[in-house]
Structure formats: structure tokens, C-alpha cells
Structure 1
Amino acid sequence: MTLAERLRRALDQGLADSLMLIEADSRALLERGPTTPAAVLVAIVDRPDPTVILTMRTDTIRRHPGQVAFPGGRVDPEDEDVIAAALREAEEEIGLPRDQVEIVGIADLYRTITGYEVTPVIGIVPPDLPLTPQPDEVAAIFEVPLRHLIAPEHQVMRTMERNGQEHFYYEIEWEDRRIWGATAGMIVNLSRRLAFLP
């Protein structure tokens, strides 16, 4: 069974079950009004020990500077759907050719406290593609083993105060990288789906 087949089976099984998924504080979202559709590409590298491609955002970018993120962004009017948006953004941000991505499916919508509704698009990519960061947005590209990301013991819940309210978030550490916020939240949701990974 290929990695794509294993992931599809796990996602299908996970979607058939009622799981406790996380998202940002829905009360804060209601107060903010309409949300903006966005999409990210969860690019899983087809290695014997599969890895996930992540980026480190530049310190000069306007939104979430210096944070670890999936390649992605808002859905543009010319995008056919969220899959097209995720592929376009990944090509723009890290030079990942869209014809090298085998789409597995989409995971659970994640609503952020900054007003975005983010759809994670799951795709398989070949190993060792020559990726190039877009210098205005991406400071670094790196890979993390999928098994590390989805292991519950690596997903640590933290709390923070924002606008006088306490919010919780997840944090995952990998070497000298800190993965947190919406990116970690999407990983935690995905890990609950992939608990069925054969």
C-alpha cells in the first residue's frame, strides 16, 4: 500500500468517526464578523519515514513574522477552489511545482482568532525536490518527521492572554524550531484523523 493510499484510508476512517477537534475561540470569531477563506498545503514527503514540509516566515513579513507555518495563504478570486489556492501558494512561497503534488484530500477547517478560515490540503510529494524560498516571505524551509508531529506526547497545551481573555494553544518542538498557534492546531487535528494510519 502506498503512502497516499494509507493516508486516504486513515482520513476516511477518521472522518467517519466523531472526534474532538480544536479551533480558535469561536466567541472571538463571532465578535469579529466575517472570516476570510485561506488554504495551506500539508506537503508530506514520500520517504521511508515520511516528513512534512514546513517554513519559517521572515521577520519582516506583516502577519506572524518569524513563525513556523505551512506554505499557504488566502484564497484569491481566480483560484478554482481551496486545493488550487494551496498549490498556488506553495509554488509561490517555496517553488514547489504543483504537478509534483499528489492530492490526498482535505482535512478539517481551522478558524483562527485573526479571522481566517483555513483549509489544510493534504498532498504527497517526492523526496529531495529543489525548493527555493520566496525571500520576502520565507526565511527557511525544513522537514519534520510526520510521526513526531502527530505523536500526542509532543503536542503540549499552553495558555496565553489576549485582549484580556485567556486562550489555549498547542506547541510542538522540533530541534530548535517552535511550532505553535494555528499551525500546531491544524497538526493536532490532523493527528486525530491519522490515529487510524495503517
Structure 2
Amino acid sequence: MTGNDLIETVEAALGRPGAATSDYDLNPDVVLPEGRVLRDAAVLVALMPSPDGARVVLTKRSSALKHHPGQISFPGGKREGDETLPTTALREAEEEIALDRRQVRLIGTLPPHETVTSFQVTPHVGVIEGPFNPVAELGEVAEIFSVPLHHVLDLDNYVIERRRWRGQWRQYFVVPYGPYYIWGATARMLRSLADQVRP
């Protein structure tokens, strides 16, 4: 399947309804408080056509950051002021990886994802059109890399692992690729994309 074919498959899948996700999905014993307030955030799931079908752009966060140091993530962040969530995703991608928003054709969104840090993150899926020369945001992004789209769409590549968090065992999805340990919210949102494409 060519890159364009795979991207068209993803675009068609995004038109189907999907279920919201959460960092707590694999931990049914966790009881979330009623009336909790979540802050809006957005990420860009940037798809890049390539000879091996298509790739997903990801970042490795700086180890000097206070929150989630060294973790794999999508470009993204919290909404500022009254901007729309698509604007948030595109702005953050410009800041973090120097992706010109004019190069991105948005093709849909995934259901929102609730994080343990009380954000409601909306993943916006977009296609990078034209040449892209990534530049990492100094102090925020340690590395920019990409993984084959077919790898993260294959449900067999996901495993469930667990670790102690706040005194309790917490389970989460992992979708490793080469030297990259993709886990937590990023892996859960990628799993949501895989579920949409291959229900």
C-alpha cells in the first residue's frame, strides 16, 4: 500500500465515530472524581508520505523539562486564550518542530484523551505536504524522529506494561519502535488511531 493509499485509509477511518480514551483505560479500579475540571490541550498527529508508505512524526522531550522529561510525545500543548484546538496543535508544531502550518492539511480528529495531569487532549491528524526540514525547539525537544504509520496501525505491535505510580500499580500501552519506548498517553492515542482504522 502506498503512502497516499494508507493516508486515505486513515482519513476515511477518522470519519467514523470513536470512543474517548484516558490514561486510566487499563486501570478500571481507579475512580475519577465527579466534577473534575480538565484543561484543554491539542496535539498534532503529523503524517508524512514516504517510500515505506507513510510515517508519523514524534518528538523526544528534553530531559531537563519539569513535566514528562525524556518521554516520547506528539507536538502539542495546552490551549492559549480563545484559540481553537486545531490552531493550538498547529501552533505547537510550529514552535516545537518548525513545521509551517501552511504545509499541514488537517484530515480529522481522534476522540479526546484524558491524562493523569488533568488535561483533555484532542489529537488532530494532518498530512505534511511538501518538503519538511524539522528543527527542534531549544530546551523543549531533544529529538525529532518518525515511525512507519503501518507499525503503529498494527495492533500486534502493542503490549501492556505496568509500573508503580503514586503507590499503586498502573497499566498502560506501549508500542516500541527500534530504540524508542513509546508509552503512556502517546501510545494510547496511537492505539486509538489503530482501533479507528481496524475496528
Change in CA separation of 1:3 and 1:171 when aligned onto 2, cut-off 3 Å: closer
Of 186, 193, 198, the residue aligned with 2:196 is 193
SS of the residue corresponding to residue 13 of structure 2 reads helix
Change in CA separation of 1:161 and 1:39 when aligned onto 2, cut-off 3 Å: same
Higher helix residue share: 1
Moved more, 62-71 or 27-36: 27-36
| Alignment partner, residue 25 of structure 1 | 24
Number of matched pairs: 191
Q: What RMSD in Å do the two structures reach over aligned CA positions? A: 2.1
Q: Which TM-score applies when normalising by structure 1?
A: 0.88
Contact conserved, 1:38 with 1:82, CA < 8 A, in 2?
Answer: yes
Contact conserved, 1:91 with 1:98, CA < 8 A, in 2?
Answer: yes
Contact conserved, 1:171 with 1:180, CA < 8 A, in 2?
Answer: yes
| Alignment partner, residue 88 of structure 1 | 91
| Alignment partner, residue 69 of structure 2 | 65
Contact conserved, 1:44 with 1:50, CA < 8 A, in 2?
Answer: yes
% identical aligned pairs: 35
Contact conserved, 1:4 with 1:104, CA < 8 A, in 2?
Answer: no
Q: Which TM-score applies when normalising by structure 2?
A: 0.88
Q: Does 1:51 align with 2:51?
A: no
Contact conserved, 1:108 with 1:190, CA < 8 A, in 2?
Answer: no
| Alignment partner, residue 39 of structure 1 | 42
Of 72, 78, 89, the residue aligned with 1:74 is 78
| Alignment partner, residue 175 of structure 2 | 172
Q: Does 1:120 align with 2:123?
A: yes
- Cα distance between partner residues in 2 of 1:124 and 1:40: 14
Contact conserved, 1:54 with 1:141, CA < 8 A, in 2?
Answer: yes
Structure 1: tracts of 5 or more residues without a match: none
Structure 2: tracts of 5 or more residues without a match: none
